[in-house]
Every structure is written in structure tokens, then in C-alpha cells.
Amino acid sequence: MSALKGKRKEYLTVKDLQKVLDSCKLHLNQIDEVWPNIFIGNVAVAQTKTSLLKLADDSTYFDLDVYFQPAADFIHKALKSPDGKVLVHCIMGMSRSSTLVLAYLMIYRHLPLKQALQKLIQKRAIYPNRNFLALLLDLDLQLTRKKKTCQIL
């Protein structure tokens, strides 16, 4: 039985991710650089840009995952340009914006979700809502399966 225990794959839960987030000791700022040239901020930072003011409701039922790939592609393309920098913002700069940055780190920087969370909370106090954490867990699982499939081929 103990041999099976050691071989069991540990799957993350939303509660596991919330424990990682709870370990963050940082204070929430209006804007923080969370990855080289990627910033997460609140709406006050972006109020001078009218195109950035189209904010969606941060509902616990909002399907943000349909924006994971387009947002990750946008961030990736912007960072490839000379002197490229990106501000990812939402009203509080804690849930929606951090979820999109986490998706970018997972898709383009190939970080597992838990590691991406740990990296961001070293730079900013974030707290994606439970729905967004569950969507990120799904993405993490999809990327892990894709990676395993690619290694087999």
C-alpha cells in the first residue's frame, strides 16, 4: 500500500491554490511589475486610456477562460516588440488581471499553475476568485496533457 501511495499523482485543488495565495505577505498597490515588463494594476492606473475602461463584471460565473489564449497571445506579442511592456488591469488588480497573467505564464512561459502563483505573489498581492482558480486548474491540466502527448510523439 505504501508503494502505491508514493506513486499516486498529486492533483491540485482550488483549496491548495488558495493556501498558496494566503501565504502572500505583500500589501496591495495600484500597480506592480509582476514579471519582466508585465504589470498588474487597478482601474485608477488605466483611467487615462479610454480603450482600457471596457471592464467586464467579475462574476463567479464569468467564463474568463475564453480569453486565456487571446490575452496570452497579446501579451506575448507585445513583449516581443522592442521595449515592449504590458499593463494588465481590472478594477482592483487582484482577480481578473492576475488570472490572465497567470494564463500567460502557463501558456508561454510553461510554468505549472502553482509555480506561476508562487512567482506572482512574490511581486503582488493577488487573489483570483474561486471560479477563475478552477478555470486555471483546467488550463493547467490541459497543458500538462498536451505536454505529455508531445513527449510521446
- Pick 67 or 5 by higher pLDDT: 67
End-to-end CA distance of the chain: 33
Percentage of residues in the chain having pLDDT higher than 90: 58
Please state the separation of Cα 71 from the chain's center in Å: 11
Residue 1 has pLDDT above 50, yes or no: no
In 3D space, the residue among 134, 114, 105 whose CA is nearest the CA of residue 40 turns out to be 105
Residue 80 has pLDDT above 90, yes or no: yes
What structural domains does the chain harbor? Answer: 28-139 (3.90.190.10)
- Cβ atoms within 10 Å of 72's Cβ, excluding its own: 21
Helix (H, G, I), strand (E, B) or coil at 41: strand
Residue 110: pLDDT band with limits 50, 70, 90: very high
CB 116 within 8 A of CB 150: no
Residue 51: pLDDT band with limits 50, 70, 90: very low
Active centre residues (catalytic): 90
Residue 2 has pLDDT above 70, yes or no: no
The order of strands in the sheet holding 38-41 is: 31-35, 38-41, 86-89
Q: What is the pLDDT at residue 60?
A: 65
Q: What is the pLDDT at residue 63?
A: 86
Q: How much is the mean pLDDT over the chain?
A: 84
Residue 42 has pLDDT above 50, yes or no: yes
Q: What is the pLDDT at residue 5?
A: 54
